[in-house]
Structure 1
Amino acid sequence: MHILIVDRSGPIPAPKYGGTERVIWGLGKCLNLLGHKVTYLVPGGFKGDFAECLYLDQSKDLNIQIPNYIDVVHINYNPLQSINKPYLITMHGNPGAMDSIDKNTVFISKNQAERYNSEVYIHNGLYWEDYNTPNLNKKRDYFHFLGKASWRVKNVFGAAKIVRKANGVLKIGGGSRWCKRNFFRGFKYILDPKIQFLGMVNDEDKIKMMEKSKALVTPVLWHEPFGLAIIESLYAGCAVFGTSNGSLPELISPRVGLISNEYDTLAKALNTFEYDPQYCHEYAKRNFNAEKMTLAYLKLYEKVISGKKLHQQNPEFSKEKNKINQLT
């Protein structure tokens, strides 16, 4: 089978941090290892030895950029047009209430699928062989937040509030202390020496930071479609504490973390949880690896190649299921 993987985010692999880019890098690698041919169609090029690359021109019709020899097209954004080849679309974000969703859409968590009245989903997986192996025996004496801190719904100051209640130290990867938004949203936290902003962290620094962290604190105030920071933290041996929004309840089992919508409950758990870095690490490798994800996609590739649709009706936004659970 020859698979064309299409994405408009940037180069493969991502030069620093990139969510979708990491997922489709692992997908392409595993497809190649399983004996399939892979071509990327992306705007920033590809550096690797397991696939070919074509350059995506987003100003042109996608169909004229798909070679005739391709068997199936795997698109990683909503193209908003008909595709002439067998195809499927992975929905990495949350479409709005008025957005059109294709019948061949695959969601990336059960929760995300349910919020659009669908049952078709495949969990993201990462190619863990690309990651440095964490030292699971290091002393862990702080907590961490990983994500775009400037994005309100990621709730970095909610994480800071929880960790302060637990009298802990929080290291924030993905945000700057001295920015305008922080002055208005969390001034008391940016002055707290126990709340430490690390800025953007690369892969090597990220693993080094996480392997000395007890847990990721991620009290999101939006429906996280999946959450690569969650599985990366688990891989590094960290537990995960978060809200019941989005994919979190299905990614976090009781042995690797806690789900709650109460600040006090989460804060208490930081100090009372029975941490098991080895179990968290194995849990991530076992459940969220690129090979498992790839095998699931191969089944759907075969389905669309045979002419079948993944949905009988177009998935639709559910207002009721998209309500956000607030922290109290």
Structure 2
Amino acid sequence: MKILLIMDPGIPVPPLTYGGHERLVYMFAEEFTKLGHQVSLLAGPNSVVTGKVHAFGSNNLKRSKWQKTKELLFVWKFLSVNKKNFDLVHNFGRLAYLIPILNISVGKIMTYGRPVSKNGIRIITSMPYKNLIFTACSDYCVGTGNVAGLWKTVYNAIDFSKYQLQEKVNIDAPLMFLGRLDKVKGVHHAINIAIKSGSTLFIGGNIPDTQDNLEYYEKMLKPFFDGKQIIYLGALNDHEKNKYLGMSKALLFPIDWNEPFGMVMLEAMACGTPVIAFNKGSVKEIISNGENGFIVHNEEEMLNILPKIATINRALCRATVEKKYDIKIVANDYLAIFKDDK
């Protein structure tokens, strides 16, 4: 089968550090190739996969509206010229990319990793269309956009072979926070938990570049970075994430928003590291209390549950998610959706 994967420019595929969807697209491209399919990728400059890459646009997350318009026109031209060259177009980018092939027979999967614009779904499904399936990375995320069309939940994935299980850590091992240092990610909650519990806290993630979040970082996070108890590690690559997650007794995920999925939870569990998370968004779909972590509602509950982390079997923690979220499983889930719709 000939498969075209589409990803917005802005961050190359695969990303060097931050870039959740770009990482997913790379893994799917490689897994589809291993399964014997011919894979092409339409993505930003410097993208690399085993299949054929068609680069377009600019790797700049702050690029102008005019630049994004030019990118849209490029994709429209590409799809118009090559619409008969693919059996499946799997789009992780803008929904509008699909307009030139909306009403032709080629299979189309539109995948979302964040809350969905209902207006966009209504507009697209008001047009004539064929063989279009919408997917999102959690039941929660599907629920944000399921106003028209055919929807399926297909969870995000990681390559478990890239993560090393650490079956034992010391009782005084560090806690960890991993993610963007934005206010909605709740880094300040993690710092409070570490200080109140007397624990060391590793923090890995990008420093914000938006004005409100940069101010949050400067006032509410940076003053606590002492290099001894609260240790900021910077933006981590895959090797570093594997190292520090494996050293930690728990990942803290104290989100202040409805996270559509949260791949860092899987990355932690793949190392055997359980997750303690606030009950928002997709958290209850991923965490099984007492098996791979705990779901709580506030800082007090998070602090009180810390002693129970030692009761979790770290090998079982990994096993509970590997059988559901490994890239081999999820890639076949997507192919099954396409085949079922034929």
User: Is TM > 0.5 for Structure 1 vs Structure 2?
Assistant: yes
Residue by residue over 1:13-50, the C-alpha shift from the partner in whole angstroms, topping out at 9 and shown as x without a partner, is: 2223321122122212221222221111111244343x
SS at match of 1:17: coil
What is the aligned counterpart of 2:143 among 92, 114, 126?
114
Residue by residue over 1:51-77, the C-alpha shift from the partner in whole angstroms, topping out at 9 and shown as x without a partner, is: 111123415242321323111111102
- 1:167 corresponds to 2:198: yes
SS at match of 1:80: helix
- 1:218 corresponds to 2:253: yes
The answer for the alignment partner of 1:242 in structure 2 is 277
The answer for the alignment partner of 2:65 in structure 1 is none
The answer for the alignment partner of 1:321 in structure 2 is none
Query: Structure 1 residues 153 and 127, CA, compared in 2 at 3 Å: closer, same or farther?
Result: same
SS at match of 2:95: coil
2:185–2:254 Cα contact (<8 Å) kept: yes
Unaligned 5+ residue runs, structure 1? 307-328
What's the C-alpha RMSD, in Å, of the aligned pairs?
Answer: 2.4
Query: Structure 1 residues 97 and 89, CA, compared in 2 at 3 Å: closer, same or farther?
Result: closer
1:157–1:189 Cα contact (<8 Å) kept: no
Query: Structure 1 residues 166 and 99, CA, compared in 2 at 3 Å: closer, same or farther?
Result: farther
SS at match of 1:301: helix
SS at match of 2:89: strand
Higher relative contact order (CA 8 A, sep 6+): 1
The answer for the alignment partner of 2:184 in structure 1 is 153
Structure 2: which amino acid aligns with 1:27? F
Unaligned 5+ residue runs, structure 2? 58-70, 126-132, 209-213
SS at match of 1:47: coil
- Report how many residues are paired: 301
- Comparing 237-246 with 73-82, which one deviates more in the overlay? 73-82
Structure 2: which amino acid aligns with 1:158? H
Query: Structure 1 residues 63 and 108, CA, compared in 2 at 3 Å: closer, same or farther?
Result: same
- 1:93 corresponds to 2:92: no
Please report the TM-score for the alignment, with normalisation by the length of structure 2.
0.80
What is the aligned counterpart of 2:77 among 64, 75, 90?
64
- 1:26 corresponds to 2:27: yes
2:324–2:330 Cα contact (<8 Å) kept: no
Aligned-pair CA distance for 1:162 = 2.2
Aligned-pair CA distance for 1:173 = 0.5
The answer for the alignment partner of 2:327 in structure 1 is 290
The answer for the alignment partner of 2:6 in structure 1 is 6
What is the aligned counterpart of 1:269 among 305, 330, 335?
305
What is the aligned counterpart of 1:80 among 96, 115, 134?
96
Distance 2:53 2:13 in 1: 9
The answer for the alignment partner of 2:265 in structure 1 is 230
Structure 2: which amino acid aligns with 1:69? N
Distance 2:321 2:339 in 1: 27
Once the two structures are aligned, what percentage of the paired residues are identical?
22
SS at match of 1:245: coil
Distance 1:192 1:261 in 2: 29
Greater share of residues in helix? 2
Distance 1:192 1:55 in 2: 41
SS at match of 1:224: coil
Question: Segments of 4+ in structure 1 off by > 6 A?
Answer: none
2:178–2:205 Cα contact (<8 Å) kept: yes
Please report the TM-score for the alignment, with normalisation by the length of structure 1.
0.83
Query: Structure 1 residues 8 and 167, CA, compared in 2 at 3 Å: closer, same or farther?
Result: same
- Comparing 293-302 with 39-48, which one deviates more in the overlay? 39-48
Residue by residue over 1:132-191, the C-alpha shift from the partner in whole angstroms, topping out at 9 and shown as x without a partner, is: 424433436110000001x110010011122323221211001459x6433433476345
What is the aligned counterpart of 1:139 among 159, 170, 173?
170
Residue by residue over 1:74-132, the C-alpha shift from the partner in whole angstroms, topping out at 9 and shown as x without a partner, is: 11023325241431210112235655465532111011112334752100112223x14
The answer for the alignment partner of 2:296 in structure 1 is 260
